[in-house]
Amino acid sequence: MTGRLGRPRGSPPGQPTGRDPGLPPRLSLGARSVAGQVFALQAVIVVLLIAAASLALVFQERYDTERDARHRSLAAAEAFAHAPGLPEALKTPNPTDELQPLAEAARRASGVDFIAVMTPDGVRYTDPRPELIGKRATGDLSRAIRGQSFTEVFRGSPSDAVRAVVPVRDANGAVVGLVGTGIEVAKVSDVVEGQLPLLLGAAAGALLLATGGAALVSRRLRRQTRGLGEREMTRMNEHHEAVLHAVREGVLIIGADQRLLLANDEARRLLNLPADAEQRPVGELGLDPRTTALLVSGRVATDEVHLAGDRLLAVNVRPTKPYGGHPSGSVMTLRDTTELAALSGRAEVARERLQLLYDAGVRIGTTLDVVRTAEELSEVAVPRFADFVTVELLEPVLKGEEPSRAAGAYTQMRRAAMSGVRTDQPLQPVGDVIRFVVPTAPMAAALDAGHAVLAADLNAAMGWRAQDEAGTRQALGYGLHSLISVPLQARGVVLGMANFWRAADTPEAFDEEDLSFAEELGARAAVSIDNARRFTREHATAVALQRSLLPRVLPDQSAVEVAFRYLPAKAGVGGDWFDVIPLAGARVALVVGDVVGHGVHAAATMGRLRTAVHNFSTLDMPPDELLGHLDELIHRIDQNESGVAGDAGEGAADAAGVTGATCLYAVYDPVSGVCTMASAGHPGPALVRPDGGVEFPELPAGLPLGVGGMPFEATELLLAESSRLVLFTDGLLEDRDRDFDTGLGLLADTLSQPGRSPEQACADVLAALLFPSPSDDIALLIADTRRLEADRIAEWEVPADPAAVSRVRGAGSAQLAAWGLGDIAFTAELILSELITNAIRYGTAPIRVRLLRDRNLICEVSDGSSTSPHLRYAATTDEGGRGLFLVAQYAERWGTRYTERGKVIWAELPLTGGPEPALPVLDLESLEDLAW
């Protein structure tokens, strides 16, 4: 071995080295060194390149100058030949006198050496040399005579020139003359020769720069090669290759930039490196992650064991010393320790099984869906444990019901999930019913025994083959050869069956260790499936309860055209709800609410709230008052339930309160177009104007129901006809991946689409905003408002005079006749008489009467008194008290609602006459004396 300066290690600098005397000294800078040879070669190449480039530039300059002369000559000839009046001048008796001054002026202007106007046969009319006028031009002019312009390098008398000849045509297109222009070749050569000093100077400068650069490169190369000659460097390289690639130990050299600089043959074999591995980052070499991390870290390692494919390698890592200004890298040596392969294989299998069980615990049961949990079991075992996995479940389990506990009662199941390394497997597809009719088949045997059963060789599993001869024959032909059947059991109850199959992709059959592992995997999956089954049952119960409490059909009314959507949450039914409630006076109430929480309790609470709103709405309260009464009711319910739970002791389950429920209550009047609404902690509605604009009206923020302590405020909006109100719960807009404001923007964009009916708008909104797996319920109510036409409304002011009753009754009868409602005129007059008479007698001014022709005839009498009438039975001796009884008998519905200044008593009659109550026929005039 030699040192870094080429001397044997340990020899003094002056001692002879015993090298070939014909070789130059290693530190020689002579021409025989590699650096000197490279410098000489670079110098020769540079000289040749510069010489060739100079010649090319000279020829290129000559070519460019000549081409420019051709273009200038042709342009001048074309311009003069097409000059106006030239054909006429050629036909004059003496064209020379007229054209000679013009040609000379054009020549001086264009910079050419001559412009000659000639006859078609070449006799000159003009020329810069007067002695040539009248003489024939030399050269071939036949192309111009035929009408073709051309340029050429002319050699001959009177001088060599780059000339152009262009024919002159008259109005008929006939050639009447020729125009010749040109630049003398001597002048073209002078231009090229004028460029030679510049070209030669540039070539000399390039030669100096290139030679200097070659000298710098050679100097750098001398330092790198230490002045070694070609033969000595070849010998050193042969020694390097012989030693590096012959040793049975892998060597890797890694640079400071984490790139592979060198790998010997043994390292390539042990690590299975690609052919182009060198200069690639170590992270792209496909090494084991631990090996890659070790190389990237740059730490020192001694005999660490690393995995490389099916080999165990003893790895040593040391840093390299910096050299030539390069930062320190690292060198790794590898030794194959394959004799430990058997032990490491068993340890790796155990590690993989533990990892698979861990992955199963993480990946199985991520959702509370029975089928999805079965799919997760099949997915986690393929391909690390089995080539194909099928999962069958009992029908009650799929429905969320409790399976039977009777042993041996499982003769058929439905396939719920299947995964495999390929899609062309021969097994029955998902959804098929799988029957276990042969007791000795692995599936039936596992169910009967209550534990996993191994069929290591399916060819010998006669029970399995007898169960379905055609199907098993196809499966064996496909390559299925080994099976483990595991009953899925939880709390001692069988839920289903998991079957693990191996095919030709995995030649090794299942063994006893695999049997234990499969049973452990099935036990973990069974717990998740049972949890999902229980949730499915509770979820179905809550959904059924909620749907039974929500409106199934919306009531008939004319104020709005309504469409709705309700979607329960995937994770559990919540307490979202909505309602449409017809009110007196053709009005309608739109309600939407949300109960915090999920499950049966939330659904039951929602039902209680909806019932309470219905009851309060019959009193025809303003929205703010209705929410106030609802808030007081819920607060009282919470107090009562909390007191019951407290008395039950610590062992009783705490009764969940209603606090946290929200509600938006809106009342729309189609007569005035006014919508009055109030909110108890619920998001306000979206308002879509007839022009398509969308806005979100600001509502006073109210506290959720049950909190108490603060009154609610109502807001009135005057809606244009065909406006659209959109009421919704927050589950429509926000989720884990989207905030409320973003949802509002999406909702506004969706609702702005023109020409969509309420049903279509509901579909659009859900398509744009629905989450794949919503975590909260969604209630959506879209209502297009309508206005009651003016010709279907009749109003009168009534003075506080009993004599006015008959006049108003007559006006009402006339209006009914105009509406075509003569069949019910008598009943309507009777009701109007009673209501107006009692308003005059017991009420205060102002008194008004209003008739509305909607789905029913609505009779309204309002006054300024807040006294409420009551229906009662009059005694035989009473003179009055029967008027309101008559109203109740003849009207379909009647009632009282209070306003800010008084009350309105109303009654509804069907538009068509029907059988009337069996009451004595009364004189309408006499009814005015009755009192209620």
pLDDT tens by residue, 467-514? 888 888 889 989 899 999 999 988 888 889 999 999 988 888 898 888
Contact 454, 512 (CB under 8 A): yes
Phi, psi angles (nearest 5°) of residue 486: -125, 120
**Mean of the pLDDT values across residues 339-356?**
66
**Cross-strand bridge partners of residue 782:** 563, 726
Integer Cα distance of 754 and 694 in angstroms: 11
Q: What is the mean pLDDT of the chain?
A: 80
**Cross-strand bridge partners of residue 254:** 260, 330
Contact 613, 663 (CB under 8 A): yes
Residue 223 has a pLDDT of: 66
Whether 379 shows a pLDDT value over 60: the answer reads yes
Paired sense of beta strands 330-336 and 778-785, if any: unpaired
Integer Cα distance of 594 and 779 in angstroms: 9
Residue 305 has a pLDDT of: 81
Q: Coil, strand or helix: which one is 154?
A: strand
Neighbour-count burial of 800, counting CB atoms closer than 10 A to its CB (0-12 exposed, 13-18 middle, 19+ buried): middle
For 890-912, write each residue's pLDDT tens digit: 888 888 888 888 899 889 999 88
The structure tokens listed for 307 are: 């995995």
Contact 254, 262 (CB under 8 A): no
Contact 580, 781 (CB under 8 A): yes
Average the pLDDT over each of 133-142, 215-224, 455-464 and give the range with the smallest value.
Answer: 215-224
The structure tokens listed for 328 are: 């320190």
Whether 834 shows a pLDDT value over 80: the answer reads yes
Integer Cα distance of 463 and 455 in angstroms: 10
Q: Report the 10 Å Cβ neighbour count for 628.
A: 21
Integer Cα distance of 672 and 718 in angstroms: 8
**Mean of the pLDDT values across residues 414-432?**
90
Question: What global pTM score does this model have?
Answer: 0.51
| Maximum average pLDDT range among 115-119, 364-368, 863-867, 913-917 | 115-119
Integer Cα distance of 660 and 665 in angstroms: 16
**Cross-strand bridge partners of residue 55:** none
For 240, 361, 420, the CA distances from 380, given in Å and listed in that order, are 51, 10, 11
């994770």: which residue's tokens?
Answer: 571
User: Taking Cα atoms as reference points, which of 552, 554, 634 lies closest to residue 590?
Assistant: 554
Predicted confidence band at 841 (pLDDT cuts at 50, 70, 90)?
confident
Integer Cα distance of 346 and 669 in angstroms: 81
Integer Cα distance of 459 and 481 in angstroms: 7
For 59-77, write each residue's pLDDT tens digit: 777 777 778 888 888 888 8
Integer Cα distance of 367 and 369 in angstroms: 5
Q: Coil, strand or helix: which one is 321?
A: coil
Q: Report the 10 Å Cβ neighbour count for 645.
A: 15
Amino acid at position 363, single letter: R
The structure tokens listed for 82 are: 């097409």
What is the sign of the dihedral through the CA atoms of 601, 605, 608 and 611? negative
């070209």: which residue's tokens?
Answer: 199
Predicted confidence band at 654 (pLDDT cuts at 50, 70, 90)?
very low
Predicted confidence band at 10 (pLDDT cuts at 50, 70, 90)?
very low
Paired sense of beta strands 250-254 and 453-455, if any: unpaired
Integer Cα distance of 555 and 348 in angstroms: 69
Q: Coil, strand or helix: which one is 610?
A: helix
Integer Cα distance of 308 and 314 in angstroms: 10
For 589-631, write each residue's pLDDT tens digit: 999 998 877 667 777 778 888 888 999 998 888 999 999 999 8
Integer Cα distance of 136 and 563 in angstroms: 103
The structure tokens listed for 573 are: 């039914």
Angle at 178 between CA 173 and CA 179, to 5 degrees: 120
Neighbour-count burial of 291, counting CB atoms closer than 10 A to its CB (0-12 exposed, 13-18 middle, 19+ buried): buried
**Mean of the pLDDT values across residues 198-204?**
72
Q: Which residues contact 181 (CB under 8 A, 6 or more apart)?
A: 73, 74, 76, 77, 80, 107, 110, 112, 114, 115, 116, 163, 164
Predicted confidence band at 716 (pLDDT cuts at 50, 70, 90)?
very high
Neighbour-count burial of 861, counting CB atoms closer than 10 A to its CB (0-12 exposed, 13-18 middle, 19+ buried): buried
Q: What CA dihedral angle connects 705, 707, 711 and 715, to 10 degrees?
A: -40
Neighbour-count burial of 841, counting CB atoms closer than 10 A to its CB (0-12 exposed, 13-18 middle, 19+ buried): middle
Integer Cα distance of 794 and 481 in angstroms: 89
Residue 674 has a pLDDT of: 95
Predicted confidence band at 785 (pLDDT cuts at 50, 70, 90)?
very high
DSSP 186-254: HHHHHHHHHHHHHHHHHHHHHHHHHHHHHHHHHHHHHHHHTT-BHHHHHHHHHHHHHHHHHSSSEEEEE
**Mean of the pLDDT values across residues 661-683?**
94
Integer Cα distance of 332 and 673 in angstroms: 86
Q: Report the 10 Å Cβ neighbour count for 564.
A: 20
Contact 624, 712 (CB under 8 A): yes
Residue 911 has a pLDDT of: 86
Integer Cα distance of 734 and 741 in angstroms: 8
**Cross-strand bridge partners of residue 414:** 393, 433
Contact 904, 896 (CB under 8 A): yes
User: Taking Cα atoms as reference points, which of 781, 577, 796 lies closest to residue 668?
Assistant: 781
Secondary structure in 3-state letters for 500-566: EEECCCCCCCCCHHHHHHHHHHHHHHHHHHHHHHHHHHHHHHHHHHHHHHCCCCCCCCCCEEEEEEE
Predicted confidence band at 23 (pLDDT cuts at 50, 70, 90)?
very low
């309508």: which residue's tokens?
Answer: 786
Contact 535, 568 (CB under 8 A): no
Residue 624 has a pLDDT of: 93
For 506-523, write each residue's pLDDT tens digit: 888 898 888 888 888 988
Q: What is the DSSP letter of 654?
A: P
Amino acid at position 831, single letter: I
Q: Coil, strand or helix: which one is 633?
A: helix
Integer Cα distance of 926 and 684 in angstroms: 53
The structure tokens listed for 104 are: 């000379």
Q: What is the DSSP letter of 4?
A: T
Integer Cα distance of 124 and 382 in angstroms: 100
Q: Which residue has the higher pLDDT, 547 or 619?
A: 619
